[in-house]
């Protein structure tokens, strides 16, 4: 089974030594997706979990498109938040992107991110093309 590196300019470049995603067979594994603007690479909405969740899910959609998948085929997410008390705000945005049959999900409070980032999300999806 081949491991195919996924890269798109429509999502932010990795902020460290890692890849945006890999497709292995018909499964897509993303790295932790950050709330950075894909054009400027700047953090969107510092300290705001709503704005950052929106940006992350837009970035996720682009990474999935580049891999031959889409948001409807995400079956697992792992969410890292800096403050679990903000969970309800994040969850309302998340529902808009996964309105039916939401993926299995784990959410973990990690403490502190750097420079105003408050959330990061990983996804696993089925490739459809």
What ranges do the domains of the chain cover?
Answer: 3-126
Q: In the predicted model, is pLDDT for residue 29 greater than 90? A: yes
DSSP symbols for 12-55: PPPSSSS-SEEEETTEEEE-PBP-B-TTT-PBSSTT-HHHHHHH
Question: CATH classification of 3-126, choosing from 1.10.1040.10, 3.40.50.510, 3.30.1330.40, 1.10.1750.10?
Answer: 3.30.1330.40
The answer to whether the CB of 77 falls within 8 A of the CB of 113 is no
Mean pLDDT of the 1-23 span: 96
Residue 111 pLDDT:
83
Mean pLDDT of the 109-115 span: 90
Q: In the predicted model, is pLDDT for residue 51 greater than 90? A: yes
Dist. CA 31–CA 62, nearest whole Å: 13
The answer to whether the CB of 35 falls within 8 A of the CB of 45 is yes
pLDDT band at 1 (very low <50, low <70, confident <90, very high): confident
Running DSSP on this structure, what letter comes out for residue 102? Answer: P
């Amino acid at each position: 089974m081949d491991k195919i590196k996924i890269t798109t300019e429509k999502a932010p470049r990795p902020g460290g030594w890692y890849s945006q995603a890999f497709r292995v067979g018909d499964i897509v594994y993303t790295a932790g997706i950050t709330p950075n603007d894909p054009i400027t690479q700047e953090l969107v909405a510092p300290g705001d979990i709503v704005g950052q969740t929106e940006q992350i899910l837009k970035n996720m959609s682009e990474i999935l498109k580049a891999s031959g998948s889409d948001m409807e085929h995400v079956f697992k997410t792992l969410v890292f938040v800096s403050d679990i008390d903000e969970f309800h705000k994040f969850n309302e945005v998340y529902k808009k992107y996964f309105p039916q049959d939401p993926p299995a999900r784990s959410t973990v409070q990690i403490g502190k991110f750097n420079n105003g980032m408050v959330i990061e999300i990983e996804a696993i999806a089925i490739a459809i093309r």
